[in-house]
Amino acid sequence: MFNATIRVFIVDDHPLVQEGMRSLLGNEKGIELCGYAMTAQSCLGYFINNSADVILMDINLPDMNGIDLCKEIKTKYPGIMILALSTFNQGSYVTRMMENGASGYVLKNADKKELLEAIYEVNKGRTYLSFEAGQAMRKDSESGQIPVITRREKEILILIAEGLTNPEIASKLFVSPSTVDSHRKNLLAKLNVKNTAALVKFAMDHQLM
């Protein structure tokens, strides 16, 4: 299997970007575009009966966020390498994609050379971070890790951000207001913020909801 053709699958909902990829990668010797999807669902559907070596994955998909899709793919098909693509350069985003199994992170303002290099590196099982992504990640890890939020906490966080009070959230989730209050306190403690305003800001900055 030395120097075998790398089968690349693209997941991106922007036809322009798709077209750009095809145009950029289509004539490459060692690369074969084996398919593409515009949504997370159709991507998952494809891999039921097919495979690929590397997935170029946009983080902002219409039906699911890249982090969750990444996790799901890596759980089901650990052999497929994922290269995350994003317009944004949020440190926490990079970190979380990597934590969920991505092998690389490239910004969409990468050129052909960088994109190819990333694909080859990732295909070899190595990690590729574009310069800016690496910077962002380092900056992020300096300021401590991103705390892990549980499913319930996330649920409550979203309702808090919608403007619901503890009693309102409680009745919506069929639990006691005390419970909601506990979760809220845990969120404040975990994310190291001192009140609701800072909580929502932090959560939005770090894409926790």
- Which residues of the chain form contacts with DNA (CB under 7 A)? 148, 150-153, 160, 165-168, 170, 173, 175-179, 181-185, 188, 194-197, 199
CA angle 191, 196, 201 (to 5 degrees): 65
Upper half-sphere CA count for residue 175 (Cβ side, 13 Å) = 13
117 vs 168 by CB, closer to DNA: 168
Binding to a second copy by CB under 8 A, coded x per residue (else -) over 177-196, reads: ----------------xxxx
Q: Which residues contact 84 (CB under 8 A, 6 or more apart)?
A: 57, 59, 66, 70, 94, 97, 102, 104, 105, 106
Spatial separation of the C-alpha atoms in residues 207 and 201, rounded to whole Å: 10
163 near a second copy, rule: CB under 8 A: yes
Cα dist. 39→24, 44, 97, 122, 174 in Å?
21, 9, 18, 22, 34
Best CA proximity match to 7, nearest among 71, 20, 74, 28: 28
| Nearer of residues 73 and 107 to a second copy, judged by Cβ | 107
Q: How far is the CB of 193 from a second copy (least distance, A)?
A: 6
What are residue 85's DSSP bridge partners? 58, 106
Q: Does 16 bind a second copy (CB under 8 A)?
A: yes
**What backbone torsions phi and psi does residue 83 show, to the nearest 5 degrees?**
-115, 115
Q: Which of 17, 34, 64, 175 binds a second copy (CB under 8 A)?
A: 17
The one among 18, 100, 130, 166 contacting a second copy by CB under 8 A: 18
Q: Which is nearer to a second copy, 14 or 190 (CB)?
A: 14
161 binds a second copy (CB under 8 A): yes
The one among 50, 51, 60, 178 contacting a second copy by CB under 8 A: 60
Note the residues at the interface with a second copy (CB under 8 A).
Answer: 13-24, 60, 87, 108-112, 115, 160-163, 165, 193-201, 204
